[in-house]
Amino acid sequence: MGKGMRAGKKPSTGMGGGSMQKQMQQMQAMQRKMEAIQAEVEQKEIETTAGGGAVTAVINGKKEIVKLEIKPEVCDPDDVEMLQDLIIVAVNEGLRQIDEISNAEMSKLTGGLGIPGLGF
């Protein structure tokens, strides 16, 4: 037997086989939770407005516009640029909010581990 060895004790290989398997199981469980969170976020809808309610956009968690309302009084043919700006503001705010929700949900799972690339 080698120095420091006791009868019946297996020498350590340094590979941590049981530990590695446990880590893989934990990673798989985390991946399943992440997929569940992503599916939950995809079901959410965010409603945003611009121009005091002149334009309303509803965006889902898949970052798709599912509804866009424009009040007739903002449809001025001489000022199309203003209407375009209002639509852009409403849609971008909805996208920002969806990102914020997704990041908040993922950070709950990762516990603030700072794992890059998890924003869905």
Give me the pLDDT at residue 120, please: 44
Alpha-carbon torsion angle 72, 76, 81, 84, nearest 10: 10
Give me the pLDDT at residue 91, please: 97
Give me the pLDDT at residue 78, please: 93
C-alpha 79/C-alpha 81 separation (Å) is 5
Give me the pLDDT at residue 119, please: 47
Give me the pLDDT at residue 97, please: 96
Per-residue pLDDT of the chain (120 residues), as tens digits, is 556 556 665 555 555 567 899 999 988 988 899 899 989 999 999 999 999 999 999 999 999 999 999 999 999 999 999 999 999 999 999 999 999 999 998 888 877 565 555 544
Fold of 48-114: Ybab; Chain: A; (3.30.1310)
Residue 48 token pair: 């945003």
Give me the pLDDT at residue 72, please: 94
pTM, entire model: 0.68
